[in-house]
Structure 1
């Protein structure tokens, strides 16, 4: 099924989402154009996926804000994914995890492509190429692995990886109504009539009539004791709560043991792979060492042979010099070395001399031509000398031809 085109992707995604995605990608990623394009294509092709930004912490403890595409790619898929896009995308492949927080009635099943922490290792990561691979290919491979591989298991009722459950909630404490005490009888002072309220002028204004006290009010009833309220901490301290607490601790210890065993197996596997790679590198270095040793041995042997050959040639030259010195002592004169270099017969000696003369005449004419170009000689001198040299060269070449014909007979 081919991915949606660019026009379809922009139509199928709301414009506010596109604007938000564009604004988020700009300050974070190096290749902004490729990251934005691939994210839009994936979101338009898989409608169930959603984008968000979260802080991602790698295995080295380094945290950074990244774009995360999360959700289930297919409607019927039981595996929720977290696809983190690194800052150097597409030079670096995305990081894919199973969303453990979204797994309700299931748990991670470690296997070939999934580790106990939910990290998914796809085959495309081993041959990742920024020119040919993209985010859409990663999602498609995730769908294949989640569809055909066993990456999650359902949680059984007695499974140690089930979520810890709290003891059942106690019923609310009923609040009993406290009976109100009866109202006391109404008591009051004896009030005078309206005419009594008008004081005569000869009575001081501060004087007030003394009221008669009413009957003493009845004693209030005692306050009833409040109903006993249940304490949740005390209610848990029962035999069932102790059993539940022990069971929870046992499940937690079992889960920790399983995680420790899984981590230990993962570490041992990595150490074994590392050991194999180190052994392979050691074998390569040993092979290179043997090759260099053999090459050095061959070079030393060649040097020894060359040295022996040179010593033999030097000894031969010394013997020749000894013969020359002996000849000079016997004859009492120095010998011209050039006179010792002679051909087999006089004809060949004449041929060598004629050929050397021919080359010398050609070189002389070339020198005259260069002098003429530099204005060192005038044209008349050049023509005169060139004619003489050409005539002499002509007779020299005729003499060479005659010697060759005689030697052929």
Structure 2
């Protein structure tokens, strides 16, 4: 099933589909061994829900060998505000090795899940942490198979087979569980309705802790040859100890490098988001500064206009009452004639309007109305013709 077909089925089931699709695409891009499916998940209380499941294998480096650990990661419908559910799903040739990180049913317990934060945690970070943690303590081991009795040379220890490579050549066998770890308390349980669903029947409180470093078997990369007399000299012991220490330091160095690499990738994504937010804030600040400058300029202009108005009002108040007839004084007799003609024409227009209102209210009869209208219209016509001639003589628009 393709990725888009899975999204098309699941998009209506999720509250935040855009975030879910973005994180699932990122996981599939970085870990091709994980394939998304849309399947049904049964919770401990019997409730069932169709969820997206990232099913497949993740590459884990354990004791300088690379293994493919089968896992299933269920993405809840309220993701990223609900913690994902992770399981280790062993094949027929594997068994689950219970620890403080994985219980007997394969349910994964990690501090990354227990301290899940919607705005900081994501699916890619979860897979990376699982790779690092499983590289420190393998969650599965190979089933023991009966073998024919063969003579064993007790003079030399048995070493693991040569390390294969990730691809065409077969993988090295999974580590064999010895069952010598002691149970100890694991991570604290999440609050009700919190991080972990109650789909598993066993509690993480019964899981054994990580074995101390001194209990992890280490195989020296080089072994000093035994002399013909059967005795081991101090030089042989010293070379063996140095080789063992170098091998152990190398393994711890690789584990720390993987862990720090995963943390650096998370920090780089966070830095990218912060840089993007910084640019957006800078653009907003620039826009606000421009708007503030525009408002300051408008404020200064309004204050100037207000000052001019106050000055004009004070000047008019100091002049006292003004005669309306003397308010407009033309500069030439022709302009005075134009002003009087225009005023008289508008007065006739007002008189015609009020005669019409009087006729409508039956204040005058029709004969009087028609007589007055004829006289006023004739007078208005001559005034308009004379006004047009004066304006043309004065060089004004007709």
User: What TM-score bracket applies, with the shorter chain setting the length?
Assistant: 0.3 to 0.5
Please report the TM-score for the alignment, with normalisation by the length of structure 2. Answer: 0.40
Point out the structure with max Rg over C-alpha: 1
Please report the TM-score for the alignment, with normalisation by the length of structure 1. Answer: 0.39
